[in-house]
């Protein structure tokens, strides 16, 4: 156990936790963006939007082994735990880094650092604030933005993103997320000791492609609603969702 505690107290150990939780959250983003794209696939014959069906599927995922909502809550707790750990270790490291250089430079010129890497704490903070906002907006429905009806994903999206301010705000945050991923997705492999000169180029390209895919995929939803490229929602019998 002693080894584990020294590992946790070391900067490499904390970075290891940041990398593993970052990888979990990156995996979640890929699933999230894939689910969002169901907005574009239309409705079933009965008139239920595919994205609403997908939302219902998440609620009953794991049935019959798990009761309704259990699978979803397990996933939520894993994600929440990852976010909290990710933030805790990174903030601890940030304080340590401030102490590591008590007197700064009068002149400082970067030879290699990218803005994405230098601004990880800013982009991360903004993303953390956004996560709270986003959950209140589309999961809880507690914000006075558009109409909100539990389970009616397509209708909620349409209602909120018809407002260009909200849609553009979401697109802006996705740009910031892209900044975070551009550095983070590669950085985690280096931290885990998986990167080496043979794979470096492949991992860098992977990080860039994944970042572009995630940012474009997420942004297309609010932009399409804002531009009026998607049809208005049609009311349907909620009983149709479960079947």
Residues making contact with another protein (CB under 8 A): 3-4, 6-7, 9-16, 93, 96-97, 99-114, 117-118, 120, 183, 186-187, 190-197, 200
- Structural Rg of the chain based on CA atoms: 21
Q: Which is nearer to another protein, 101 or 243 (CB)?
A: 101
> Which run of H or of E encompasses 5?
helix 2-9
Give the other-Cβ count within 10 Å of 143's Cβ.
Answer: 15
Closest CA to 95 of 130, 128, 121, 116: 121
Q: Which is nearer to another protein, 79 or 85 (CB)?
A: 85
Least CB distance from residue 84 to another protein, whole Å? 19
Least CB distance from residue 115 to another protein, whole Å? 11
Q: Which is nearer to another protein, 114 or 139 (CB)?
A: 114
Q: Which is nearer to another protein, 11 or 139 (CB)?
A: 11
- In order of 4, 62, 87, 178, the CA distances from 207 in angstroms are 30, 31, 21, 10
Q: Which is nearer to another protein, 104 or 228 (CB)?
A: 104
In terms of residues, how long is the chain? 243
Least CB distance from residue 2 to another protein, whole Å? 9
Contact 155, 233 (CB under 8 A): yes
Contact 161, 232 (CB under 8 A): no
Least CB distance from residue 34 to another protein, whole Å? 28
Least CB distance from residue 219 to another protein, whole Å? 27
> Which run of H or of E encompasses 53?
helix 50-60
Q: Which is nearer to another protein, 158 or 186 (CB)?
A: 186
Residue listed under structure tokens 């945050």: 173
Angstrom distance (rounded) from CA 137 to CA 65: 31
Which residues face 46 on adjacent strands? none
Least CB distance from residue 26 to another protein, whole Å? 15
């Amino acid at each position: 156990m002693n080894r584990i505690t020294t590992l946790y107290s070391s900067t490499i150990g904390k970075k290891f936790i940041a990398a593993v939780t970052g990888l979990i959250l990156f995996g979640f983003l890929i699933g999230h963006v894939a689910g969002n794209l169901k907005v574009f696939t239309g409705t079933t014959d009965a008139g239920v939007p595919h994205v609403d069906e997908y939302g219902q599927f998440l609620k009953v995922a794991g049935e019959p082994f798990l009761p309704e909502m259990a699978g979803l809550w397990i996933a939520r707790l894993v994600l929440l735990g990852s976010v909290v750990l990710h933030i805790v270790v990174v903030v601890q490291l940030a304080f340590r880094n401030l102490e590591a250089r008590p007197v700064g430079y009068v002149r400082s010129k970067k030879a290699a650092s990218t803005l994405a890497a230098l601004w990880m704490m800013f982009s991360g903070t903004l993303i953390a604030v956004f996560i709270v906002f986003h959950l209140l907006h589309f999961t809880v429905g507690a914000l006075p933005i558009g109409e909100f009806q539990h389970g009616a994903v397509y209708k909620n999206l349409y209602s909120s993103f018809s407002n260009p301010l909200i849609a553009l705000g979401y697109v802006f945050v996705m740009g910031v997320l892209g900044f975070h991923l551009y550095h983070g997705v590669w950085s985690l492999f280096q931290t885990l000791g998986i990167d080496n000169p043979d794979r470096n180029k492949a991992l860098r390209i992977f990080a860039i492609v994944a970042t572009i895919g995630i940012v474009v995929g997420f942004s297309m939803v609010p932009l399409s609603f804002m531009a009026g490229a998607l049809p208005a929602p049609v009311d349907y019998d909620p009983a149709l969702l479960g079947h």
